Amino acid sequence: MKASGGILIFLWIASLMIALGAGVYYYGHTLVVWWRPVVPGVVIGIAATAVLRRFKRMRTTWNTIACAILACAIGWAAILCGNYELADTSTEHIEQVTVEKKYRKEHDETRRSGRRTIRTGRKISTYYAEVKFPDGRTKEISISFSEYRRIRTGNELDFKCRTGYLSYPVFDRK
82-138, pLDDT tens digit by residue?
A: 999 999 999 999 999 999 999 999 987 777 766 665 666 778 899 999 999 998 999
**Percent helix / strand / coil, the chain, rounded to 5:** 45, 35, 20
Backbone torsion region of residue 4, taken as left when φ is above 0, otherwise alpha when ψ lies between -120 and 50, otherwise beta: alpha
Q: What global pTM score does this model have? A: 0.84
In a 3-state reduction of DSSP, which class is residue 123? Answer: strand
Q: Which residues are paired to 127 by β-bridges?
A: 104, 143
CA neighbours closer than 13 Å in the CB half-sphere of residue 40: 13
pLDDT bucket at 1, cuts 50 / 70 / 90: low
Task: Kindly report, residue by residue over 122-161, the tens digit of the pLDDT.
Answer: 788 999 999 999 989 999 999 999 999 999 999 999 999 9
- Asked if residues 65 and 45 have their Cβ atoms less than 8 Å apart, the reply is no
User: Can you list the positions of beta strands (E) in 85-168?
Assistant: 88-112, 118-132, 138-143, 156-163
Mean pLDDT (the chain, rounded): 89
CA 50, 52, 55, 60 torsion: positive or negative?
A: negative
116, 122, 139, 154 from 111: Cα distances, Å: 11, 10, 32, 38
Residue 174 has pLDDT above 70, yes or no: no
Of 39, 72, 68, 46, whose CA–CA distance to 168 is shortest? 39
